[in-house]
Amino acid sequence: MHVTLRQLAVFEAVARNGSFTRAAEELHLSQPAVSMQVKQLEENLGLPLFEQMGKKIYLTEAGRELESYAVRVSQLLDEAEAVLEEMKGVKRGSLNISVATTANYFATRLLAAFSQRNEGVTFSLDVTNRETLIRQLENNERDLVIMGKPPDGHDLDAESFMDNPLVVVAPPEHPLTRKKGIPLSALAGERIVVREAGSGTRIAIERFFAERGIEFAMGMEMSSNEAIKQAVEAGLGLGIASIHTLELELDCGRLAILDVEDFPILRHWYIVQRRGKRLSATAQAFKDFVLAEAPRFVRLPEQYRQSSR
Ligand code: PGA
d(CA 203, CA 196): 9
- Report pLDDT for 90: 67
User: Which residues have a Cβ under 8 Å from the Cβ of 78 and sit 6 or more positions away?
Assistant: 140
Q: Is 101 in the pocket of ligand 1 (CB under 6 A)?
A: yes
Alpha helices in the chain (DSSP H): 5-17, 20-27, 31-45, 61-88, 104-117, 130-138, 200-211, 225-233, 247-251, 281-293, 302-307
pLDDT greater at residue 302 or residue 56: 56
Mutate to test the pocket of ligand 1, among 222, 242, 266 (most ligand atoms within 8 A of CB): 242
Is a pLDDT exceeding 80 seen at residue 301? no
Is a pLDDT exceeding 70 seen at residue 309? no
Domains of the chain: 5-83 (1.10.10.10), 87-162+268-308 (3.40.190.10), 164-267 (3.40.190.10)
Is a pLDDT exceeding 50 seen at residue 308? no
Atom of ligand 1 nearest to the CA of 199: 3
Q: Is 129 in the pocket of ligand 1 (CB under 6 A)?
A: yes
231 CA distance to ligand 1 centroid (A)?
19
Find residue 146's DSSP bridge partners: 99, 271
User: Which residues have a Cβ under 8 Å from the Cβ of 24 and sit 6 or more positions away?
Assistant: 30, 31, 33, 34
130 CA distance to ligand 1 centroid (A)?
6
- Report pLDDT for 15: 96
pLDDT greater at residue 187 or residue 41: 41
d(CA 294, CA 244): 13
234 CA distance to ligand 1 centroid (A)?
23
- Residue-wise pLDDT tens digits, 125-147: 999 988 889 989 988 889 999 99
- Report pLDDT for 89: 67
What are the two backbone dihedrals, phi and then psi, of residue 35, each rounded to the nearest 5 degrees?
-60, -40
Q: What's the mean pLDDT when you consider all of the chain?
A: 90
Q: Is 171 in the pocket of ligand 1 (CB under 6 A)?
A: no
In the three-class reduction of DSSP (H, G, I as helix; E, B as strand; rest coil), residue 261 is classed as: coil
Is a pLDDT exceeding 70 seen at residue 151? yes
Residue pair 203/264 in contact (Cβ under 8 Å)? The answer is: no
Mutate to test the pocket of ligand 1, among 98, 104, 126, 130 (most ligand atoms within 8 A of CB): 130
227 CA distance to ligand 1 centroid (A)?
15
Atom of ligand 1 nearest to the CA of 149: 9
Q: Is 148 in the pocket of ligand 1 (CB under 6 A)?
A: yes
Q: Is 195 in the pocket of ligand 1 (CB under 6 A)?
A: yes
d(CA 302, CA 104): 20
User: Which residues have a Cβ under 8 Å from the Cβ of 65 and sit 6 or more positions away?
Assistant: none
- Report pLDDT for 264: 94
d(CA 115, CA 123): 9
Residue (of 296, 248, 302) closest to 112 by Cα position: 296
